Structure 1
Amino acid sequence: MSIPSHFAGLVDDAAVFPPGLAPLPDAVVAHAAHLRSDHRALVGPFIVSAQDLATLAELATPDLFPEGIRVSVVLPSPDELSGVLDLVRTGPLVLAGLEVKLGPGPLTPQVDVIAAHDRGTSPAYVEAPRPGHPEWTGVLDAAAASDLRLKFRTGGTEAAAFPDEDEVASWIHGAVRSAVPFKCTAGLHNAVRHTGADTGFEHHGYLNILLATAAAQDGASVHGLVPILGERDGRVLADRLAACPAAALRRARQGFLSYGSCSIDEPLADLAALGLITA
């Protein structure tokens, strides 16, 4: 199977998070299998909560991960950073990233706390507030000034957790304008914008996000990104992707780095169904 370079490392393995909620031992074994498969180029790091790091270090044995397991750690607040960094530095885990939620209170000073930590070469993602939040612009500016990345929550376990196209367009446009790379999380399992058959939730598509990022980098306005994010015809998106120059796609992936999914199989199946990967 050939994975095009513009999909390389696109899907971070968030199997232990909702709605999948795979038991950690099962998820670790499955992750090792993905990394040995012919679709391994699609797979990013294993996403783990800070509280599960010690257990993961025991489960990720050398026979499963001879070179260590690359992890991106989700932290509930900036206060947890020191402990996580100490644990990772003394254990067998390979730190690929830190994904930090912002707690109650003013948000921008918390971004400064994250930036002040010595993370070595490991990138840190700040979970951004939604564009309607009064501190959205402040968090964006603070992240840009501190060489941090942003994390956009594109869904959840209830309808209200899903931002609409206008909100996601504002996120993407702001990040591109400020040259801040971003990742997405939650609700983004599939390639194309759609309504969940079981829940009725309005899910964004990862191809929509990728193409909207490319359009923003090409100068599109917030308003111009909305129809791209709202497109529900996979063939239209696939054709638009095929027409996009390789250099533009590479640049788009430097903006939209990855997204967390509790399934690797679903995004893989979508790419195959749309003819965007070859076996």
Structure 2
Amino acid sequence: MFASLEALLSSVVDYAGLFPPAKLELQPAMANYAQYQTTPYAWMLGRFILPVSRLQEFEQLLPEKPTKWPLSIIMAGDVKEAIAQLQSLNNDKIAITSLEFPPLPPTDIEKILSSLSTEIESFFEIPFKSDFKSYLSVLQHTGAAAKIRTGGVTVDAFPSIAQLCQSIFAFAEAQVPFKATAGLHHPLPGKHRVTGEADSPVTVMHGFLNVIVLAALVYHQKLTLETALELLPESSSDNFQFTRDSIAWKNHQVNISEIAEARKRFFRSFGSCSFQEPIDDLKELRLLR
């Protein structure tokens, strides 16, 4: 495996097994996460995504291993009450590393930000059909991050190529980091069923390699919007070049230190209800063994 690919995909998949389309019960989702921690691909595994309402149930089901559970908590209901619940948590097996908030008005986000610890990463979901500028002006220079939905269980949940490209450029211009959630099960774009049901509709899903490579290039100002609109739908692995020290799409290249910086400061991760599917596809592309 190339070191550049490891830098690109390190801790990149936040496991969301509780959420559609997988929608597992808590115990099997936790068992999956524990098992993924033991595989050769554990370096790709990020946080376990858990609704704050299920934190007590989660504690009761905690197994002996892994010894630390990095959690990303989905916030809901009374934010002050939820934060107080998290602050009272006293369990050395749990590390709350991030909070994820549903779509809220920018004015509400501004109020919440003042009550959050800077030691825990916070993600605020921004709907595509909204005034991005008003959201980004609130998030700028706060250390908080954005969250965008890149898919779901219906065809209309998937943003267009233009919407996704424009949002990534907007985040880069505002210097606001972001994560993606849903719909990024596959490295490259392609037509897939939106759920595992036999009668599920089919749509073109975005590729996580395209999104992350695009984000790194945009962060380092190596890509125009016009060219990004060509990169995002790129479905041929032949146009991506992976070496030990760099990754390139056609003539646009980022080196390993630029990749690491973009992951640290810009594209943080993506939530997926499947961890195995991305790995299987990367193996098919011969990027993983």
Are 1:271 and 2:282 an aligned pair? Answer: yes
> For the Cα contact (< 8 Å) 2:8–2:212, is it kept in 1?
no
Of 171-180 and 82-91, deviating more is: 82-91
Give the structure 2 partner of residue 58 of structure 1: 60
Normalised TM-score (structure 2): 0.86
Of 159-168 and 84-93, deviating more is: 84-93
Post-superposition Cα deviations, 1:99-130, rounded to whole Å, max 9, x if no partner, equal 00124xxx111211221113251010000121
Matches within 5 A, 1:51-200: 51-61=53-63, 63-66=64-67, 68-76=68-76, 79-87=78-86, 89-92=88-91, 93-103=94-104, 107-130=105-128, 132-133=129-130, 135-197=131-193, 199-200=201-202
- Percent identity, aligned pairs only? 24
Q: Take 2:28 and 2:182, find their aligned partners in 1: how far apart are those partners?
A: 20
> For the Cα contact (< 8 Å) 2:216–2:267, is it kept in 1?
no
The offset of 1:227, in angstroms, is 1.0
Are 1:251 and 2:273 an aligned pair? Answer: no
> For the Cα contact (< 8 Å) 1:189–1:267, is it kept in 2?
yes
Give the structure 1 partner of residue 47 of structure 2: 45
Q: Name the SS of the counterpart of 1:201 in structure 2.
A: strand
The offset of 1:27, in angstroms, is 0.7
Give the structure 1 partner of residue 197 of structure 2: none
Q: Name the SS of the counterpart of 2:8 in structure 1.
A: helix
Post-superposition Cα deviations, 1:29-88, rounded to whole Å, max 9, x if no partner, equal 111111122111100010011211111111123x1232x3110011236x3354244235
Letter in 1 for 2:258: A
Q: Name the SS of the counterpart of 1:230 in structure 2.
A: coil
Give the structure 1 partner of residue 273 of structure 2: 262
Normalised TM-score (structure 1): 0.89
Are 1:221 and 2:221 an aligned pair? Answer: no
Aligned with residue 18 of structure 1, among 1, 17, 20:
20
Q: How many residue pairs are counted as aligned between the two chains?
A: 270
> For the Cα contact (< 8 Å) 1:207–1:237, is it kept in 2?
no
Q: Take 1:99 and 1:138, find their aligned partners in 2: how far apart are those partners?
A: 19
Q: Take 2:159 and 2:139, find their aligned partners in 1: how far apart are those partners?
A: 21
Q: Take 2:187 and 2:87, find their aligned partners in 1: how far apart are those partners?
A: 33
Structure 2 vs 1, CA of residues 38 and 117 (structure 1 numbering), >3 Å: closer, same or farther? Answer: same
Q: Name the SS of the counterpart of 1:231 in structure 2.
A: coil
Letter in 1 for 2:124: V
Q: Take 1:85 and 1:7, find their aligned partners in 2: how far apart are those partners?
A: 33
Letter in 1 for 2:16: A
Q: Name the SS of the counterpart of 2:151 in structure 1.
A: coil
Unaligned runs of 5+ in 1: none
Letter in 1 for 2:272: S
- RMSD over aligned CA atoms reads 2.1
